[in-house]
Every structure is written in structure tokens, then in C-alpha cells.
Chains A and B, each alone.
Chain A
Amino acid sequence: MSTLALDTADFGNVLQPASPKGKFRLPGVALIQTTHGLQRVMLLTGIVIVAIFLIVAICAPWLAPYGFAQIFQPQQAMSTTHPLGTTVGGFDVLSRIIYGARTAVEVILLAVALSIVVGVPLGVISGYLAGWLDRVLVLVMDALYAFPSLLMAIVVSIMINQGRSGGFTGILSAAVAITVIFVPQYFRVTRNATMAAKVEPYVDAARVAGAKSPRIMFGHILPNVSQSIPVLMTLNAAESILTLAGLGFLGFGIEPNSAAEWGYDLNKARSDIANGIWWTAVFPGAAIVLIVVGVTLIGESLNDVLNPLLRTRGGTTTADEQELVEVVETSEEASQTNEETSQEEDES
């Protein structure tokens, strides 16, 4: 619901503050400037966490003490040679975590890119042409959206490689599996934005000037509806990490020798837990939690700043809620006096 409700917000002003074409201002700076107080803290925390993960992902070969597929004596405790110990399969936990960041980033980028490439054009076409095509697409997308994402990811991963995966195909299949979950969301957002945009005068003008439908859709409407996508992207990035880990945990992700993946490591750590070996589970899990928190913080802040319609639905401080503070605070003061008076009444 929360993501589908993004609908038809006008993000233009904040993302690209009225600058002429070609002169692109770094979107982050303008964004941070529009935040304040707790919200800015949340946004900055999120950005810092994500930045650290990106650096770790890029520099993995230099940061990791060993390779992700290198095998040592299994189930070693934490020591100077293996700072976070080794797994039941003999992998070095720290190295797996560091390389896992790389896998996660690869899958997220691929999944988000694929979902945009498929979902956004479909949404524009569906919203612009309307009619029966639109109805069928909406019905299909709604059905897909209602389905548990993990199950859909499993089905797709079976389709792509019968559940067996190595190297790049593993990453690709995880990304495609996640894509199928996200396409309905991008579809919904762009479709609704297109429905609103197609009655704008500039579309009529283009039509009068003799532009054909494809040109109107992708030349005129698409640039105007694409501003709603960044928010969805960050929200989806968080979900795709969780889906990837879920697939891995069920043994349906990426083979351990072709890439490090946190969900797979957690699956293998199940037997360790029973023996009281906690480091093989706690550290990869903490890595997942940290990156998802980071991405979620960015997503929520973006959501609040860029989408005034959602302000009352999100969970963070907004100008709208600032008003509420006053209401609530004054009412609390009032309530205290009220309670006092009611107590007095009770006593008398």
C-alpha cells in the first residue's frame, strides 16, 4: 500500500530546482537543504551507511583478508587470523561479508534497472492508451502485487535456471526474480502519473502539432512522470536486499563458490546456532540489517521531502507533522490540567 500510494505527486521542484537543461545540480545537496532536524539526521545517517557499503562493495578485493571462496579449517572462533571466525563450510566470515556487499549492490542495481526498463514504459503506455489494454494490465499487475514477493521470486528463479545457479547467472536470476516483484510497483506509479499528465496542455499542444502517440508518450510524457521514480527506487532497494537474502536462505540464491551472499551464509549458520556458534549468523545478519536500515532511512526521508501527499502516511517528521506537534503538545498540557481538575472533582 505504502509504495503503491505514491501515485501522482509532483516532485519536479525539489529534484531539479528550475535549472536550465544541461546544468545539472547534484540532487542530493538540494535535497539535504530541504530537510531539517531529526529528518536531516535520518537522511544523513542513511547516506553515510549506504556510502560505506558502496565503498566496501567497490573495494572488496582490497579490504577482504581472503577470497570469498577460500577454505580454511571450519568453525574457528574469532582470532587475529580470522577476525570474525570461519563458517561451517570453512569460509572466512569477514571476507564473505565484505564480498557479500558487492553481490548485494550488483543485484540491487541490476534489479532496479530492469524493473524501470520494463515497468515504466508499460505504465506510460497503459496510462496513455487506456482502454482494455490498461484494464488487463492493471488487473495482472494487481494480482502479481498481491502475491508474496518471496514466492514469486522462487517461481522466477526456477524458471530461469531450475534453481541452480553459478556466477553471473546466479546474480542475474536473483535480479530478474526481484524485478518481477517490482515491475507492478513502477507500472502503477507511472501509469497514474501518466493519467494525470496526459490531460495537461503541453500534451494537447504536442498532439495539435502533429506528434504521433509514441513520440508523445516517450518524448513528452515520460520525462515528466519519471520524477516519481527515485523514491520508489530507494524503497525497492531495501526490499530487494531482503528478497535476495530470503532466496539465499532457502538455498535458492547464488552458489557459494561463485559469489558471497549473506542469505546463503545465514542458511548454513542454522546448524551452528544449535551448537552455540553465534558469529557465523550474527555478523552476516547484522550486515543485512544495517544496509536495509540505511537504504530505508534514505527512502523514507526522500518520500517525505519529495512527496507531500504521503507526509501523513510516512513515519518521519515533516512540516505537516510540525503543526501536529503544537496541537499534541498543547493538548497534553490541557490534558494535564484536565486530569488535575477531574481528580479534584473525584476527591470532592
Chain B
Amino acid sequence: MAQAVSSRMALARYLLLRFVLIIPTVFILVTVVFFFMRIIGDPITASLGGRLPPDEIWARKEAAGYNDPILVQYGRYLWGILHGDFGRTTDNQAVSTILINYGPATAELVFWGLIVALAVGIPLGRLAARKYNKGADIAIRSFAVLFYAAPVFFVALLLKLVFSIWLGWLPVSGRASPRIQTLLESGVQTNTHVYILNALQYGEWWVIQDVLLHAILPGLALGLLTAGVFIRLIRINLLQTMRADYVTAARARGVPEKKVVSKHAFRNALIPVVTVMGMEIALMLGGAILTETTFEWQGLGYWLSQYLLKRDFVAVQGITTAIAVLIAVASFLIDAINALVDPRVRY
């Protein structure tokens, strides 16, 4: 009893500490991004410089507060972020609106990618470990290295070439067909901006089907990138746990090998995957920028690349900062899940 209480205390303390650590992480990233992007110049000169007369630019800078000392601007920026204000783009859109409208699209893509990564990574990793150093193992590992080495946008282009252009099976780009997209954006009661949820709300199969068909290629491109990591991880952890004493003990008791792998070794080999998933989120968000750009999947990454081309650095800074917050929170959640599942983490 007393032990249970102290263990719960330890968990609470761990979670609290871990939560408090989010603050310096986000603060450091926001600061670094802010100063990196402002060292050279202000966003207005960057986007409009040369296209407007100098005094006009000066007036705009004055209005937006870019003529103030950099530290004042920094303080104002931090204050704004605390209130959920990430600045305004040069076409006078609130960055926070962009985040709300397109953030869910990115989350949806990462979700599909994660499903592909788990669906491909776990069985293949398991197979590779069971067929250790045989043909299947070597083939699977080569596959993992190949997908690690292939840039996600190249894989995306190839998938598009084969399945959309040559075979014509799947849509070339976008999150849904234009007609269905308007339906999904305006025809549902609560617009979650996550198309699959909207489609489920709408409840018609042809709408759901359209959304799913559009998600296959982007999900595959992003998922295969991550699957390579999962394959290696599962394989190596399974090999390790297969050596553990309790597995040997299970074998000695005469438990069939299939059962040893599935019941005894495999579950424990999955624990590190949860940990690594936290770190993979950064990788997947980086990959999502490129995947979205390739498939014109209108999420944060797609708009980030659009604003980059327009040299709208307020938008870039806002989206970048938001992603930093997202990663810090996500990694906290993953650590929390990990601590709940695995008592060893808490101490």
C-alpha cells in the first residue's frame, strides 16, 4: 500500500518535472528563431523591398513596429505568443488563423504516416528478427536502409509517377477532389479541418472513399520514411529480448516458440518504440513539409513553403514557432505515456 502511494508520487513528480521542462525548451527555440530571422533585416523589407518606394516601406515598418529596438520587438513577440498571437502575414492574415485552419491537415497527414509506418515497420521488424541473418532479414534491412536514404520528396514523386500518372489509380494531389472539398469545408456541422473526421460526419461512403484515396500516397511517402526506423528498432529490440532470461525460462518450460515471440518477447520489445515515436515526431513533421509540398496537401508544411517562396518571413516565423510548441508538447505526451506504461522511467 505504502509502496503504491510512493510510486504514484514518483509518477506525479516525474510528470510535473517533465511538464515544466517544456517551458525552457519552447523559450529557447522561440528565441533562437526570432533572433536568427531578425539579425539581417525586417520581414517587410524582405518581402516588399525594391517594389515600393523607401519611405512607403519605412511607414509600413513603423506601423508594424519593426523600427523599434530589437529587444522591444522580442518582448512584444513573446507577449503575443503567450496570448496565442503569432503575428500577421504581409497579406494581413493572422498567423494563428493559418495554424488553426491548416494545422489539422498536417496532423492528419502525420497520423496516416504513422499508421503506415507501424503497419509496415512492426511486422517487417518482427519478421527480420525471427529470420535473423537469413534472406528475409537481409532483404528487409536493405529495404530499411534504402528508405532511410531516399529523400521523402523523391519517394513521393516516384509514387506519384507510378500510381497516379502511369497507372492512373490514385489522385495526383490535394486532400480531396475539388467538389468534395467544398462539401467537406462547408457542408458539415462542426468543421474539424480534419477531412476524414468531416467525411465521417457527412457519412456518405463516396466522400469517405475520396478522402481515403487522396491520403494513400502522401501517407505512404511519409510512412515509409519512418518505417525504416521502426523496422530497425523492433528487430534489434526483439533480438535483445529473445536473449533475456525470462524468455529462456519460457522456452525451458516448453512454451512453443511462436508463443514465446508473441507473448513474451514481442510486447517488451515494443516499449522502446513508444519512446522513439516521440523523437520521430520531429522527423515526421520535417518530412511532412516536403510531402505536403509534393502532393499540394494544404497543411502547415505546404503553406510554409508557399510563404517561403513569397518571402513572407512573419508567416514562416509563426509557423516555425508553432511547430516548436507542437513538438515540445508531443514529446511531453509521449514521455508521459511511457512513464505510465513503464515504471522504470519514473525514477
Knowing A266-B157, A338-B256, A339-B256 are in contact, say whether A285-B289 is a contact too (CB < 8 A). Answer: no
Docked Cα-Cα span, A332 to B46, in Å, equals 65
Chain B's closest residue to A295 (CB) is B149
Q: Is A73 an interface residue (CB 8 A)?
A: no
Give the B interface residue count (CB, 8 A): 70
Cβ B145 vs Cβ A148 within 8 A: no
Contact between chains at B327 and A250 (CB < 8 Å): no
Interface string of A41-62 (1 = CB under 8 A from B): 0000000000000000000000
Say how far A119's CB is from chain B's closest CB, in angstroms: 16
Query: Which of B93-101, B204-212, B237-245 touches A?
Result: B237-245
Closest 9 CB pairs of A and B: A335-B257, A148-B286, A285-B154, A292-B149, A143-B28, A150-B286, A159-B36, A293-B149, A328-B132
B347, CB-defined interface residue at 8 Å: no
Interface size on A, residues (CB 8 A): 66
Contact A274-B172, Cβ < 8 Å, known A150-B286, A321-B239, A334-B257: yes
Query: Hey, which chain A residues are within 8 Å of B166, CB to CB?
Result: 276
- Tell me the number of A-to-B contacts counted with CB atoms below 8 Å: 189
Please name all residues of chain B whose beta carbon is closer than 8 Å to the beta carbon of A250 when the two chains form the complex: 289-290, 293, 305, 308
CB < 8 Å neighbour of B154 from A150, A151, A289, A334: A289
The CA of A99 and the CA of B89, in the complex, are separated in Å by 38
Instruction: Kindly state whether residue A209 has any CB partner on chain B within 8 Å.
Output: no
Assembled-state Cα–Cα distance A312/B257 (Å): 22
* B interface, over-half SS: helix
Whether B308 and A163, one on each chain, are in contact in the complex, defined by CB atoms closer than 8 angstroms, is: yes
**Is B232 on the interface with A (CB-CB < 8 A)?**
yes
CB distance from A286 to the nearest CB of B (A): 8
Q: In the complex, A281→B145 CA distance in Å?
A: 21
Instruction: List, in ascending order, chain B residues with CB within 8 A of A285's CB.
Output: 150-151, 154, 157-158
A155-B286 contact, Cβ under 8 Å, with A249-B293, A281-B157? no
Cross-chain contact of A249 among B148, B240, B243, B290 (Cβ < 8 A):
B290
Chain A 277-289 against B: per-residue CB contact (8 Å), 1 yes, 0 no?
Answer: 0100110010011
Interface 1/0s, chain A 237-272, versus B by CB < 8 A? Answer: 010001001100111100000000001001001100
